[in-house]
Amino acid sequence: MTLGERVYIYCERGTNEALWAEPINAISNVGFFLAALIFWQLVLWRPPEQRSADHYLFVALVFAICFGSIAFHVYADRGTELADVIPIAVFMLVYLGFALNRLLTVPPGWTVFLVILFAGLTAAAGQVHCWDGGVGFAAGAPDGAKVCMNGSVGYLPALGVLIVVSMLLAERRHKATPYVMAATLVFAASILLRSLDMAYCSSIVVEGRNTGTHFIWHLLNAVVLFLLMRASLETGIRPLPEPVEEKPEEKAPEAKVEPEAKSEPEAKAEPEAKEPEAKPEPESKDEPPAKAEEAPADADAPKEEGGSDEGAPKDEASEEASSEDKPSDEKPSKEASGTRKRTKKAPS
């Protein structure tokens, strides 16, 4: 194998040796140029303290990928093939080291070890060949065996690493998570389309020529590289949102009724000394004399009617008794009864 050996692995070129045999594949590399240019401008807009040599290295590598791919799709030989794949491989190794050390804060020693391990897996994947009824490494492959998935199998380790890195970033709520996750999804689609280039060669025709799907791989990969470079500008961690607790509706604090200070037991009002009510003097005390007067008068009435001569003295006695009773209103009833007796005795 020499550096000038022709390479015919894409639908658009077929077996044509002309320089301009893959115009669409060559022009589609402009996507890498735009990705590098836009990211470069984003870096220049950042304050100097937020820039790093890694950012400028990413820009240089993407420009190298752009020009190497253009050269390969124009000349299509082993020399230009190396110009195409080497910048891609270097970008993958550099970005993996950056992601591990700067985004995931993996110690430098472990970062170097993992990057070397990844390089070995990628090289081994590129040697996997497929043939009718078998899959194996190139050393034991029969004649006519080709690289599996139209050469896309060598990019599967990179896809696996992107999946793991995006999951770890998401777990840590890193600000770069959305960019790396989006890049992972787009990269999976681009690998699929690269693998189907020869299978759908005659299905996609532009101006009467078969083009296949390889040019879509270029455009999607330009998006992947831009997203990864954009993620490198996010080196912080999102603060965890404070859990929102549903607060019950605040009720106006009820005024606590303070227990009234127990007043000293009121001195029980002593029952007012009831003044002894003056017992009403029975009216009978005054009346009995009158009755007594009437009684003898009634008793003497028949005698007067009979014309007795003793009426005069009785009248005098009764007058004396009444004269004695008038001044004695306050005397007890016994005196009244005594008066009655005297009145009775007066006629004798």
Sign of CA dihedral 7, 10, 14, 19: negative
215 and 292 belong to one structural domain: no
Neighbours of 135 (CB within 10 A): 12
153 and 75 together in one domain = yes
**pLDDT at residue number 270:** 52
We report the CATH number of the domain holding residue 71 as: 1.20.1070
Q: CB 177: neighbour CB atoms within 10 A?
A: 22
Claim to verify: residue 193 and residue 82 sit in the same structural domain: yes
Known binding residues for Ca(2+) = 22
CA distance 326 to 319: 11
Residue type, 345: K
Which residues of the chain have a pLDDT value below 70? 1, 236-348
Co-location of 119 and 217 in the same domain: yes
Nearest in space to 213 (alpha carbons), one of 223, 203, 221, 222:
203
Residue stretches of the annotated binding site? 22, 73, 214, 218
Strands of 146-147's sheet in order across: 134-137, 128-131, 146-147
Residues 108 and 227 in one domain: yes
3-state secondary structure of 129: strand
Q: Is residue 12 part of a domain?
A: no
Query: Which two three-digit tokens encode residue 290?
Result: 């009158």
Q: pTM, whole model, 2 decimals?
A: 0.69
How big is the chain by its Cα radius of gyration, in Å?
Answer: 66
**Last residue of one domain, picked from the residues 191, 211, 231:** 231
Give me the number of domains the chain comprises. 2
Does residue 167 fall inside a structural domain?
Answer: yes
Q: What is the pLDDT of residue 290?
A: 45
Q: Which domain holds residue 290?
A: 284-300+314-345
Claim to verify: residue 322 and residue 173 sit in the same structural domain? no
**Residues 45-86: pLDDT tens digits?**
999 999 999 999 999 999 999 999 999 999 999 999 999 999
| 36 falls within a domain | yes
pLDDT at position 309, please? 45
Known binding site for Zn(2+): residues?
73, 214, 218
pLDDT of 314:
46
The whole-number pLDDT of residue 53 equals 95
Q: Do residues 157 and 296 both lie within one domain?
A: no
In a domain, 273, yes or no: no
Listed residue (35, 31, 55, 34) closest to 43, CA to CA: 55
